[in-house]
Amino acid sequence: MAAYAQSVWGIEIGNESLKAIRLNAFADSIQVTGFDVIHHGKILTGSGINDIERDELVALSLRKFMRENSVGKEGVVISVPSQNSFARFVDLPPVDEKKIPQVVRLEAGMQIPFDMSEVQWDWQIINQTNTEQVRVGIFAIKNEIVTRELEYFGNENIQANMVQMSPMSLYNYLVYDRPELVSSDKQATAIINIGVENTDLVVCSKSNVWQRCVPMGGNSFTRAIAESFKLNFTKAEKLKRTAAMSKYARQVFQAMRPIFSDFVSEIQRSIGFYSNSNPDTKITHVIALGGGTKLRGLLKYLQQSLQIPVEKPDAFKRLTVSGDVSAAKLTENVADLGVAYGLALQGLGLAKIESNLLPRAIASSMAWASKAKYLTLAACALLAVAAMSIGRTIFDGAQYKTQQDVRDKVQSIIGDAEEAKRKLNEQSSRTSQYQQAIASVSSIFKDRNVIPKVCETVLSVLPNASNNPQQKELYEAFEHGDIATVMETPRKQRKQLFITSMQVRYAGNIETAKFGEIEKATTKSRRPGVPLEMMDYSSEYGGARIMETAGVMEETEGPKDKEGFLVTLTGYSPYESILDLLDPANVRGNKSLWGVVNHLMNLDEALNYNCPFELFEKTNLEHFKLDTGTVGTDTQMPEGIGIRKQNEDSKNTGEGEYILIDPLTQEVISRQPLKDETGKIKVDTRGREIYKENDHWFVLNFKLRWKHEPSSALTEAGFAIADVNDVNEP
């Protein structure tokens, strides 16, 4: 029996690209934790590609795959193409169940069109409705073909655990991911996997599968274009891929028209053969996969000709996607990953067809090779332990006879230890009174680090080298006052937020607290005597000004779970789209695009620890509000932005008396009028003056709920706070 892994890579090496997907099995779901589609340097069956160059192209793709993905000791299942494999499904005569393997071997010898010593083969019971009839599948492949595929992986130190035929992997994919399409033997679904050189047609029903390899694929269309336009294969392939956007699109599709007809005719002929052989089964649905599905118009033409619904999947129905995987990129490549999906399912033990064409000799040698060093180490360790045990026994026997004085001393020490333990228990009984004394002394320090922690939490989610490593050099240059380096980045591309004011205020009930009002605590859960602080940070480049007011929270009734802080941030930014820094839309799990608000909404993940605060009701305007505007144009603009400077052109142009400049770089941050060649201010069609917008200001009001007791939450965050059980009213 095969050993199934919890994490498996399914890898298919096609003529155009390497396709791979990694699935992880959890208790109640299968999750995509990685995938890759690596295009070869050239199409392996292209014009002029010999066996040596083909092997090198495959090796390069595998090396790139290994560089970009971690395989480690995870399971690996690989495929072999349908045109190089053999599959036959037969009904066995009535026979005792124990004799089925013997009968299958005789049947395989008659069915497989090769010498049995030249092939690797396997079999599996496909359907056994009763004891009278058993249907089995017999699968085979020539030794040299599977050996060549395994050599590709062996050369890159990838150990394949299973080998499966591509059509059977497609069947496994459909049975698991779309069970509603194979729920009956009266209705079947056909999978058409359009490859570069060949097309696999797999007809699937509840208890049966039929396959045929159609010797036409993407290269057939490329050759038609090459012949029609007198181009080499490479240029014809490029023209095929860009045909929809080419000015010669009509001529290109005209050249491919005969191939469209021949391809559909081959599919119709194959489906007709299946229908004649299985008159009780009707094909009602077609699933189209493979790179050929990208050819414009092919699927529509196929559906019109077959008069059967043709579907190109855009998602895997029964898989969940890990947060580390790009869901959008996976959607783009779904049609290419059908075979790899089926392979990975087999590695997890979830496939209906579990035949394995991995040569038994290779499997045995791989297993022994991996275990040999462990057996050698185990034998050496066993010998060493035996020798040490014998030596230790002899040594201990000799020592025991001469160590009576030591044993007497040990007994004396044990007596002393028991006496010390008695005294310890006596002192431990006084713990309660000691704790009360400690609590009384340390109560004044309770929660002293909460407000600083709120400030640190808010400041840590602003744009910085950690949140935006692409501009790390900019942040470091700004920190050191390196003006030249700062200005190397165009101002509107600097992802910076300059905070001119930061207010943090405690509220006993943040649900009822209003921004801009100073209120006392309204919760009995707060400990009496804990200071209520409101901190206002106003900073310029040279330093910071901190104003603090403190009071004592009253012990009144209120909801314990609504304690928190009201935070108001004001400032400005040179970045061209300030909302992309503060609250960008539709970024979801892409952390590289998160703004300040996204970090606040995911504080635990953003700060990499269990943060004691969480953003409170971002969708409610009473609890969250973001205002922005252009610097220099709005009376609502907060104070403290930039440095005011006399506008030397105000007398001649009628502009404002003052302009605002950046304190560090001396760049103009307020809006500026656009002038024509004569120095006059430009106006629009309505006669209004046209201005160039520079920096933008913002005012961000939000609330942070204090979700944990400070003695536990802030200690986890690295802030030591005494745990006092009884605090007296000061």
Q: What is the distance between the alpha carbons of residues 580 and 596, in angstroms, rounded to a whole number?
A: 9
At which residue do the structure tokens 């097309």 appear? 199
Q: Which pLDDT band, with edges at 50, 70 and 90, does 446 fall under?
A: confident
Q: Which pLDDT band, with edges at 50, 70 and 90, does 709 fall under?
A: low
Q: Which parts of 124-248 fold into alpha helices (H)?
A: 143-154, 166-177, 218-229, 233-241
Task: Map residue 230 onto helix, strand or coil.
Answer: coil
Q: What is the mean pLDDT of the chain?
A: 83
Pick the CATH number of 179-316 from 3.30.420.40, 3.30.470.10, 3.40.1130.10, 3.40.50.720: 3.30.420.40
Is residue 225's pLDDT more than 90? no
Is residue 273's pLDDT more than 50? yes
Question: What's the pLDDT at 633?
Answer: 67
Tokens of 424: 């310890």
**Residue 193 vs residue 532, higher pLDDT:** 193
pLDDT, tens digit, for every residue of 495-523?
999 999 999 998 889 999 998 754 443 33
Question: What's the pLDDT at 523?
Answer: 36
pLDDT, tens digit, for every residue of 350-394?
999 888 888 876 656 655 655 666 777 888 888 888 888 888 888
Q: What is the distance between the alpha carbons of residues 598 and 700, in angstroms, rounded to a whole number?
A: 13
**Residue 629 vs residue 1, higher pLDDT:** 629
Is residue 27's pLDDT more than 50? yes
Question: What's the pLDDT at 369?
Answer: 55
Mean pLDDT of the 544-573 span: 62
Across 144-153, 430-439, 645-654, least confident range: 645-654
Question: What's the pLDDT at 99?
Answer: 82
Tokens of 542: 């040279």
Is residue 554's pLDDT more than 80? no
Q: Which pLDDT band, with edges at 50, 70 and 90, does 655 fall under?
A: low
Across 482-491, 630-639, 690-699, least confident range: 630-639
Is residue 651's pLDDT more than 70? no
Mean pLDDT of the 671-690 span: 86
Question: What's the pLDDT at 91?
Answer: 80
Is residue 653's pLDDT more than 60? no
Q: What is the distance between the alpha carbons of residues 14 and 149, in angstroms, rounded to a whole number?
A: 11
pLDDT, tens digit, for every residue of 289-326?
998 888 888 899 999 999 999 999 999 999 999 989 99
Q: What is the distance between the alpha carbons of residues 478 and 496, in angstroms, rounded to a whole number?
A: 10
Mean pLDDT of the 531-536 span: 40
Mean pLDDT of the 399-411 span: 79
At which residue do the structure tokens 């892994």 appear? 5
At which residue do the structure tokens 């194959």 appear? 270
Helix 218-229, helix 249-277: angle, nearest 10: 140
Chain mean position to CA 367: 33
At which residue do the structure tokens 């193409």 appear? 81
Mean pLDDT of the 43-68 span: 90
Q: 1-177+319-358: which CATH topology?
A: Nucleotidyltransferase; domain 5 (3.30.420)
Q: What is the distance between the alpha carbons of residues 137 and 125, in angstroms, rounded to a whole number?
A: 6
Is residue 36's pLDDT more than 90? yes
Q: What is the distance between the alpha carbons of residues 560 and 11, in angstroms, rounded to a whole number?
A: 54
Whether the Cβ atoms of residue 496 and residue 463 lie closer than 8 Å to each other:
yes
Across 89-103, 138-152, 426-440, 513-527, least confident range: 513-527
Question: What's the pLDDT at 537?
Answer: 41
Q: Indicate the helix (H) or strand (E) that contains 35.
A: strand 30-39
Whether the Cβ atoms of residue 440 and residue 728 lie closer than 8 Å to each other:
yes
What residues form DSSP beta bridges with 89?
Answer: 137
> What proportion of the chain, given as a percentage, has pLDDT over 90?
40
Mean pLDDT of the 656-668 span: 88
Across 468-482, 510-524, 589-603, least confident range: 510-524
Task: Map residue 193 onto helix, strand or coil.
Answer: strand
Please state the domain extents for the chain: 1-177+319-358, 179-316, 369-425, 444-462+497-641+697-716, 642-694
Is residue 25's pLDDT more than 60? yes
Q: Which pLDDT band, with edges at 50, 70 and 90, does 649 fall under?
A: low
Across 49-63, 182-196, 235-249, least confident range: 235-249
Reported pTM: 0.52
What residues form DSSP beta bridges with 283?
Answer: 188
Q: Which pLDDT band, with edges at 50, 70 and 90, does 463 fall under?
A: very high
Q: Which pLDDT band, with edges at 50, 70 and 90, does 555 fall under?
A: very low
Question: What's the pLDDT at 303?
Answer: 92
Mean pLDDT of the 615-637 span: 88
1-177+319-358 and 179-316 agree in CATH topology: yes
Question: What's the pLDDT at 550?
Answer: 34
Mean pLDDT of the 400-421 span: 85
Q: Which pLDDT band, with edges at 50, 70 and 90, does 699 fall under?
A: very high
Q: Give the C-alpha distances (Å, rounded to integers) separating 678 from 619, 653, 668, 681.
A: 50, 11, 22, 9
* DSSP line for 616-665: --TT-TTTEEEEEEETTT-TTPPS--SEEEE-TTHHHH---SEEEE-TTT
537-553: string of b/e by CB count within 10 Å (b at 16+)?
Answer: bbbeeeeeeeeeeeeeb
Is residue 472's pLDDT more than 60? yes
Mean pLDDT of the 329-345 span: 93
Q: Which pLDDT band, with edges at 50, 70 and 90, does 650 fall under?
A: low
Is residue 713's pLDDT more than 60? no
